């Protein structure tokens, strides 16, 4: 059995958040494979000819369902609308595919399989897993994504993840129902906020090697703007994750390490700065005891935080909440095992 034939037995919805995409939307919709059950296009306050292009495709393809926002509310708001409609329609798996043509539908089976097999609750594209694709990526995007990846690891707890702003994703019905959609960010922080919410729900996330297609389209996402606006949002997500994970939902070694190391670090740094300022103002050298107290408390706090981070990395979610929908049968051809619908 071919992978596409097995996927055709599932109810797969593709949500396409759309804004000012009249040049690309028609090609994107026509390229979506036939095994996809429905295509939900969310017109997010489009003022160009996008709606006419979508209507033209919908007249030929009954899978296309058009939803509209009266004003531009952001990609996250569009996805919330699409996700809710996909759940109402009974979709097993919901895919996010942007309207700019950068997400190659040829890689859709690779993205769907971890979720369909029940080995992951959420799968996302990762451009960093293919060296040849990295060389084609604009250098500014490459550097910006590296920084954003580190911030996303801290805020979500998915330490194995890279490329957090990659919007080519697939999520199971179970995982989608487990998160609070109202907490997802309205704008371009949507993908990172999705990871943060999934982390709180302890869903299993997986990276899939998928290169992007860079054409002549202009990106609405500025790396500089992202770094400036994403940092405080990542900080809030990080603090919320720590509060929920290690204080409200569970109490573990990480909880003890944080409870001891954070006060030590704060005391060590503040005491050291105070002693240095006092020594400079009064031109009196600090005593050996003062220096040692500041150094040892600061070092102890840092050591405790490093240990807490190690335990946090080791506790990355690994038990999916998704019900397996496909089974693996014998290899067909060279190098691949094909899925089979379970009885």
Question: In 10 A of CB 261, how many CB atoms?
Answer: 19
The pLDDT tens digits for 202-245 are: 999 999 998 766 555 455 555 666 667 899 999 999 999 999 99
84 vs 229, residue with greater confidence: 84
The token pair at 259 is 């409870």
Stated length of the chain = 343
N- to C-terminal Cα distance for the chain?
15
Distance CA 185, CA 75 (A): 9
Query: By the 8 A CB rule, do 164 and 142 touch?
Result: no
- Check the CA dihedral 183-186-189-190 and report its sign: positive
Query: Please, what is the Cα angle at 231 between 225 and 234, to 5 degrees?
Result: 130
- Check the CA dihedral 266-268-269-273 and report its sign: positive
| List of residues 6+ apart from 65 with CB closer than 8 A | 38, 39, 40, 41, 58, 85
User: Which pLDDT value is given to residue 283?
Assistant: 83
| Lowest-confidence region among 28-37, 173-182, 263-272, 284-293 | 284-293
3-state secondary structure of 170: strand
Examine the pLDDT at 324 and tell me if it is beyond 70. yes
Average pLDDT over the chain, rounded to an integer:
88
Query: Shortest CA distance to 297 belongs to which of 289, 308, 309?
Result: 289
Model confidence band, residue 249 (pLDDT cutoffs 50, 70, 90): confident
When pLDDT is averaged across residues 306-329 and rounded to a whole number, the result is 87
Query: By the 8 A CB rule, do 121 and 320 touch?
Result: yes
When pLDDT is averaged across residues 141-158 and rounded to a whole number, the result is 86
When pLDDT is averaged across residues 81-95 and rounded to a whole number, the result is 97
Model confidence band, residue 340 (pLDDT cutoffs 50, 70, 90): very low
Model confidence band, residue 162 (pLDDT cutoffs 50, 70, 90): confident
CA atoms within 13 A on the CB side of 45: 8
Distance CA 37, CA 10 (A): 8
Distance CA 127, CA 203 (A): 22
User: Which pLDDT value is given to residue 221?
Assistant: 54
The pLDDT tens digits for 28-65 are: 999 999 999 999 999 999 999 999 999 999 999 999 99
| pTM for the predicted model, two decimal places | 0.85
């Amino acid at each position: 059995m071919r992978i596409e034939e097995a996927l055709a037995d599932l109810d797969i919805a593709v949500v396409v958040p759309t804004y000012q995409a009249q040049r690309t939307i028609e090609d994107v919709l026509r390229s979506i494979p036939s095994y996809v059950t429905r295509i939900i296009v969310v017109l997010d306050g489009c003022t160009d000819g996008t709606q006419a292009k979508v209507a033209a495709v919908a007249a030929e393809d009954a899978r296309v369902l058009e939803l509209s926002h009266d004003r531009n509310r952001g990609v996250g708001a569009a996805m919330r609308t699409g996700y809710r409609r996909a759940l109402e329609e009974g979709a097993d798996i919901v895919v996010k595919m942007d309207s700019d043509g950068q997400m190659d539908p040829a890689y859709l089976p690779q993205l769907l399989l971890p979720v369909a097999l029940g080995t992951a609750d959420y799968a996302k594209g990762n451009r960093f897993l293919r060296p040849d694709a990295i060389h084609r990526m604009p250098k500014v995007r490459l550097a910006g994504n590296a920084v954003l990846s580190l911030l996303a690891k801290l805020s979500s707890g998915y330490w194995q993840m890279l490329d957090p702003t990659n919007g080519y994703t697939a999520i199971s019905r179970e995982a989608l129902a487990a998160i609070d959609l109202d907490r997802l960010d309205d704008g371009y922080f949507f993908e990172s906020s999705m990871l943060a919410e999934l982390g709180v729900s302890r869903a299993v996330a997986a990276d899939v090697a998928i290169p992007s297609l860079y054409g002549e389209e202009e990106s609405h996402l500025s790396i500089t703007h992202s770094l400036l606006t994403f940092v405080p949002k990542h900080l809030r997500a990080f603090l919320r994750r720590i509060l929920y994970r290690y204080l409200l939902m569970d109490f573990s070694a990480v909880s003890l390490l944080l409870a001891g190391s954070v006060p030590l670090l704060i005391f060590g740094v503040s005491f050291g700065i105070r002693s240095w300022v006092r020594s400079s103002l009064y031109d009196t050298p600090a005593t050996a005891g003062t220096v040692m107290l500041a150094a040892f408390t600061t070092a102890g706090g840092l050591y405790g935080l490093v240990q807490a981070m190690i335990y946090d990395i080791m506790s990355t979610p690994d038990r999916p909440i998704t019900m397996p929908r496909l089974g693996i049968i014998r290899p067909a051809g060279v190098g691949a095992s094909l899925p089979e619908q379970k009885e």
